[in-house]
């Protein structure tokens, strides 16, 4: 979370500069003075910054992948609109009460923008982290599941394995369930190619496959630990994305593990 908060702060700084820049440029060129006009200008400025915010937060701050950009986009829009409402409400309140402040209107309006930005940023961070970008591909959503007796979990760490992994995954998912109850967990270790998308496509055809992914690349050890922690199996095996250890090897290891348990 500290890392996300730092990245969110940097992203927020970029978006705030963009927001303030557009806000002041529009104020200067339109000469708006009424509460409604200034409120509309504020909405335009925040809206343009929000588009930039979505892509920066998805790819940089929370670093998530999603199967549905549409549903994630809707959640982002709902959260951002509420943040926009909070921000704009503060600005409109200040506009209605300019006579109460012994400062030039321009300063009061920008101070109200700062306060509105702080309040809306707090709202946005919480909703983005715990709702908008909390997807199946988000590491924060994974946790140890209840162990299933007799189930064998095969963990496959993968980094840029779009060439080798699909065929191997298809083979394992087609054959291994005929030997013993199995789940196959692919952990995409921040691949820069389409490894995760290919695995997701295959996953839809086999109930025993699940796919996890995170950014950035953190090494094989991290990928293996992630898969082990999320596995439901009583027996845990990890193997690579290539075929160095073939199905017969995996079958032999699984049989030894099963035989070691005194039923």
Q: Which of 136, 166, 183 is a domain's end point?
A: 136
Task: Give pLDDT tens digits for 47-93.
Answer: 888 888 888 877 777 766 555 567 777 888 888 889 888 888 888 88
pLDDT of the residue at 260: 75
Residue 118 reports pLDDT greater than 80: yes
The domain containing residue 200 runs over which residues?
142-259
Q: How confident is the model at residue 122 (pLDDT cuts 50, 70, 90)?
A: confident
Q: Based on the fold, state whether residues 171 and 204 are members of the same structural domain.
A: yes
**Statement to judge: residues 132 and 147 lie in one domain:** no
Question: In terms of domains, do 129 and 172 share one?
Answer: no
- 15 and 99 in a single domain? The answer is yes
52 and 161 inside one domain: no
Asked whether residue 112 falls in the same domain as residue 17, the answer is yes
- Assess whether 78 and 162 both reside in one domain: no
Q: What is the CATH number of the domain that holds 204?
A: 3.90.550.10
The answer on 182 and 106 residing in a single domain is no
Per-residue pLDDT for 98 more than 80?
Answer: no
pLDDT of res. 135:
47
pLDDT of residue 69: 66
User: Could you tell me the pTM of the whole model?
Assistant: 0.52
Domain boundary among 136, 168, 193: 136
In the structure, what pLDDT confidence band is assigned to residue 138 with cuts at 50, 70 and 90?
very low
Which of the listed residues 72, 106, 136 is the one where a domain comes to its end?
136
Rounded Cα distance between 242 and 157, Å, is 10
Tally the domains of the chain: 2
Please tell me whether residues 52 and 159 are part of one structural domain.
no
123 and 24, same structural domain? yes
Same domain, 112 and 54: yes
Regarding whether 109 and 167 lie in a shared domain, the answer is no
**pLDDT per residue as tens digits for the range 151-210:** 999 999 999 999 999 999 999 999 999 999 999 999 999 888 889 889 989 998 999 999
Higher pLDDT, 258 or 130: 258
For β-strands 209-214 and 182-189, DSSP reports them as parallel
């Amino acid at each position: 979370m500290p890392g996300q908060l730092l990245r969110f702060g940097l992203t927020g700084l970029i978006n705030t500069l963009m927001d303030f820049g557009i806000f002041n440029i529009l104020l200067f060129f339109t000469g708006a003075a009424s509460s409604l006009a200034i409120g509309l200008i504020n909405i335009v400025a925040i809206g343009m910054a929000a588009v930039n915010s979505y892509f920066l937060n998805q790819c940089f701050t929370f670093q998530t992948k999603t199967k549905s950009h549409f549903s994630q986009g809707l959640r982002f829009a709902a959260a951002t609109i509420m943040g926009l409402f909070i921000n704009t409400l503060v600005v409109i309140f200040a506009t209605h009460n300019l006579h109460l402040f012994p400062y030039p209107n321009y300063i009061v309006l920008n101070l109200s923008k700062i306060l509105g930005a702080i309040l809306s940023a707090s709202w946005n961070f919480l909703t983005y982290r715990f709702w908008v970008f909390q997807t199946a591909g988000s590491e924060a959503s994974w946790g140890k599941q209840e162990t299933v007796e007799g189930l064998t979990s095969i963990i496959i760490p993968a980094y840029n394995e779009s060439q080798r992994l699909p065929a191997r995954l298809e083979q394992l998912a087609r054959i291994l369930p005929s030997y013993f109850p199995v789940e196959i967990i692919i952990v995409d270790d921040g691949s820069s190619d389409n490894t995760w998308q290919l695995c997701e496509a295959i996953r839809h055809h086999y109930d025993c496959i699940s796919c996890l992914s995170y950014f950035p690349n953190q090494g094989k050890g991290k990928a293996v630990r992630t898969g082990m922690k999320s596995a439901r199996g009583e027996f845990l095996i990890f193997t690579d994305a290539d075929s160095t250890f073939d199905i017969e090897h995996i079958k032999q290891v699984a049989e030894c593990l099963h035989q070691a348990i005194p039923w």
